[in-house]
Amino acid sequence: MIDFATIEKKWQERWYKAKLYEAKKNGKKFFIHFAYPGISGYLHVGHMRGFAYSDIIARYKRMKGYNVCFPAGFHASGLPAVSLAKKVERKDEGILNYLRQNGCPEDVIKKLSDPLEVVKYFSRVYVNEYWKRFGFFIDYTRLMDTISPGYKKFIQWQFYKLKEKGLLTQKPHYAPFCPNCGPVAVDKSETDISEGGDAEILEFTVIKFDFDGYILPAATLRPETIFGVTNMWVNPDVEYAIVKVGNEKWIISKEGAKKISNQIEGVEIIDSISGKELVGKKCVVPLVGREVPILPASFADPNVATGIVMSVPAHAPYDYIALKDIKADIEPIVIIEVEGYKIPAKEIVEKMGIKSQKEEEALEDATQKLYKEEFHKGILNENCMEYAGIKISEIKDAVKDDLIAKGNATIMREFSKKVVCRCGESVIIKIVPDQWFIRYSDEELTEMSKEHVESMNIFPAEYKEELPKVLDWFGDRACIRKGKWLGTEFPFKKNWIIEPISDSTLYPAYYIISKYVNEGELDAKEMDNEFFDYVFLGKGKAKNSLWEKIRNDFLYWYPVDVNLGGKEHKTVHFPVFIMNHVAIMEWKHWPKGIFVNWWITQKSGEKISKSKGGAEPIPNAAMKYGVDTMRLYYAHIASPFADIEWDDEAVEQYKKRLYKIYELQEELLKRKGGKKDIDAWLKASFNEEVRKTREAMEKYELRRAANSIYFDIYNKFQWYIKRGGENASLIKNLLKKWICMMAPFTPHIAEEIWEKMGGDGFVSNALFPEEEEIDKDALDKEALLMKTIDDISEIIKVTKIKPSRIYIYTSPRWKWEVAKKSHELHKEGKLDMSTLMKEMMKDEEMKKHSNIPKYAQKLIKEIKKGGKHPHIDEFEYIDNAKDFISQEFNAQVFVYKGDDDAPDPGKRKELAEPLRPAIYVE
């Protein structure tokens, strides 16, 4: 029916040949970009959602008369391309299959063991197979990546600026580290890792229990409970390591030993000892000096912290139940007084009916519940020495600090959940003693950024409310790493590379420059700090006319109007995008807008992944559905601010919708008639949809706009045809506007129909329609008719009569008079029963109608609730539509005025009111 592929190819060729996408400078401007994708492999249909939004908005703005700059680039920094290349190099079957399935030619695969080739290849794929394939008006003259020499100069300049402003600092850092790849970033954007982006770093206090000259290091998140320790837990089935830590000898799980060796200097494994050997012996609780037994517990997990656990049975449900399980003769030591409890863990376990260690879920519940109560209401008791009387909520780090100061404890860091590097290795935490940070904690910078956010256009509104909190929370960020990374060398420490989040903050500014680099006018050698100072900050002098030209470009295009990105950027990229602009750029160049889009997920609510559907290569999906179908699907299936499940069936529905619209347009163009009454309605209701669409588009409510364009307008034209509309010139006029409205969403089909209709040039270059004055009466009259038809259908449905005659009574004149007067009085604020009756009785004619008081009373109530003034000639309109109604129901139709001396078999006439005809069917 519609040959999507042919139409797409045809129009893309024409657009790109005419360079419609190229941003031109004159008049008002609009700068939109999406967060550039990391080069991590092929993208999937989910990624196209945000890209499609950007293009729809960019095309809309063009059609509103803006000069739109819509550039794009590739975030090549960091680990992804390197790890892909490594996998190719070691001929990893998984990666080779993946490349082949996505259509990567064999000769290219061979080259992909070089990360630079990976970047080159995928940049081409993104442009040709995704962006151009979807008809995006990205300004392809500005493409750039983050590892080009010019971009690197640009990043170095930024770090000079940050240093000048005192926003760089050095301090020890416990950083996520992959044993294969080196340091990695753990954040929700999951640039470096494949699992665990939302893991937090937990700080365990490792308390050193003396054990016969050795240390038993028990890790805890609640060091204040040390006063209640009655015993230690070790796992009898675990072979523990004996480790030299400074001049101490620790007994710790092997996994724990590996972890602390990355966090504490001078750790060395010297021997091992089985958990069994420890059981039954005794150790000494520091601070308290109490001797306690070492007991066996299978829940002492060697993978969690040190694998040695201290037991506080009065307050830890696990400990209490474990002691009961082994029938140990140990009395809990209560150290926290909480209202309603004597021995809290014992009582909560009994209350919840927990019988054994195996009821892990219930135990976890009990632990959480008790912790909450103790935290909010608990006070340390006399067993806690100098801490007696302190509230748990106020104790904070006091006990921990005391333990550390006395040499009885140290800190160990661990992820709250498993984190896996892109290479497949588990990520650990490792100390970097002199790490460089960007000081995002800077108070002035944070305050200024928060203030600026208030003036920004941020979609959705909830994110605008959230952002100040995110900015407050956003701490110093470790900004460099040592390793084989793609990226820019840090200017203040040799061989260290700036990490990917820190090299992607100000980058939209580089799109101004990339054009000149791509066209060969500007060389990276020329881009020194002086150049960037001049171009971006207006400092110093232009060395040549090109510098001036670029400066002017920058002044014209900047600031960014919309930066669009997925929700994974909410706590990662967007905050640094704002803060770095605020830190470095002049006030007038700070960003104006952010648009966050949610994800396309699998049925399970996860991100789309290779293993489950919806992950077919994008070009295949484009072929299967047509790109206009997919663009419409993205725009209309849901609000941008909600995750959606990819659903082939739903996409098919949009394809059908486009077919239907295409057919309807062909049908409409066949009409060659003249004017009819229904024309006024079509014009008015069409213009109402134009108004709604524009209103929605101004707020980037793409779903609402698409609903008007692809559903409501469609229905209106259908109704128009049904009502016998055939006005060729009106149809042509409105069709053209309709096609213009479709152009941002489904541009290929829009161009195709536009051409068929003999439209001027490209519809992509046309202006977006403006609404004309809307004839409200025309809308109201047709609405009345539609309602009447609905009412008749309803009656038929309820009475199950197959009608041969339909009687329609419109309101009698006296009711109109009452209504008219009531509304007049209401307007003057004088509407009440006695005033209204007095007014009505002035008219002799009215005195004949004894029902006026009853009707007036009802009407007054309705008007006070907001009832509207009836104002159209309903009888005439419905009477004119008699034939239409007759055809609809295949019955004879009689239309009477309520005043008429008319047959009234069902005694319905009485019920007729203005705009509410009474109906009888027989």
Residues that bind Zn ion (CB under 5 A): 178, 180-181, 421, 423, 425
Q: Which is nearer to Zn ion, 184 or 480 (CB)?
A: 184
Shortest Å, Cβ 263 to Zn ion: 19
User: CB of 427: closest distance to Zn ion in angstroms?
Assistant: 7
Q: How far apart are CA 632 and CA 661, in angstroms?
A: 13
User: Quick one: 178 or 893, whose CB is closer to Zn ion?
Assistant: 178
C-beta closer to Zn ion: residue 177 or 233: 177
Which helix (H) or strand (E) segment holds residue 86: the answer is helix 80-89
Kindly state the smallest distance separating residue 423's Cβ from Zn ion, in Å.
3
- Exposure string of 573-583, with b = 16+ CB inside 10 Å and e = fewer, is bbbbbbbbbbb
| Closer Cβ to Zn ion, 88 or 735, answer by number | 88
For Zn ion, the closer of residues 178 and 550 by Cβ is: 178
Min CB(180)–Zn ion separation in Å? 4
* Distance (Å, whole) CA 346 – CA 323: 11
Give me the DSSP letters along 751-817.
Answer: HHHHHHTT-SS-GGGSPPP-PPPP-HHHHHHHHHHHHHHHHHHHHHHHH----SEEEEEEPPHHHHH
Nearest to 567 by CA among 13, 157, 46, 40: 46
For residue 161, the minimal CB distance to Zn ion (Å) is 32
CA-CA distances (angstroms) from residue 214 to 208, 217, 269, 274, 285? 9, 9, 14, 14, 13
CA distances to 57, 185, 751 from 761, rounded to whole Å, are: 21, 50, 9
Q: Which token pair is 489?
A: 């060398």
Contact 211, 595 (CB under 8 A): no
Considering the complex, state which of residue 191 and residue 408 has its C-beta at the smaller distance from Zn ion. 191
Quote the CA–CA distance of 827 and 835 in Å, as a whole number.
13
Apex 202 CA angle, 446 and 385, nearest 5: 105
Tell me the torsion sign for CA atoms 119, 12, 101, 185: positive
Q: Indicate the residue among 185 and 370 with the shorter CB distance to Zn ion.
A: 185
Tell me if 877 sits within 8 A of 772, measured CB to CB.
Answer: no
Output 191 or 665, the one with its CB closest to Zn ion.
191
- For residue 411, the 8-state DSSP code is E
Q: In the block, which residue shows the tokens 């669009």?
A: 564
Nearer to Zn ion, 415 or 662 (CB): 415
Least distance between Zn ion and beta carbon 178 (Å): 3
Minimum gap (Å) between residue 192 Cβ and Zn ion: 8
What CA dihedral angle connects 226, 228, 230 and 232, to 10 degrees? -30
Residue closer to Zn ion by CB (options 178, 741) is 178
Return the number of the residue (185 or 696) whose C-beta is nearest Zn ion: 185
For Zn ion, the closer of residues 192 and 913 by Cβ is 192
In the complex, least distance from residue 609 CB atom to Zn ion, rounded to whole angstroms: 19
Nearest approach in angstroms of CB 425 to Zn ion is: 5
- The Cα–Cα gap between 754 and 743 comes to 10
Closest contact distance (angstroms) between CB of 706 and Zn ion is 43
* CB-neighbour burial class of residue 377 (10 A; exposed 0-12, middle 13-18, buried 19+): middle
Decide: 152 and 488 in contact? Cβ < 8 Å.
yes
Q: How far is the CB of 518 from Zn ion (least distance, A)?
A: 33
**Distance (Å, whole) CA 217 – CA 209:** 6
Nearest to 618 by CA among 44, 132, 55: 44
Whole-number minimum distance, CB 419 to Zn ion, in Å?
Answer: 11
Q: How far apart are CA 390 and CA 407, in angstroms?
A: 23
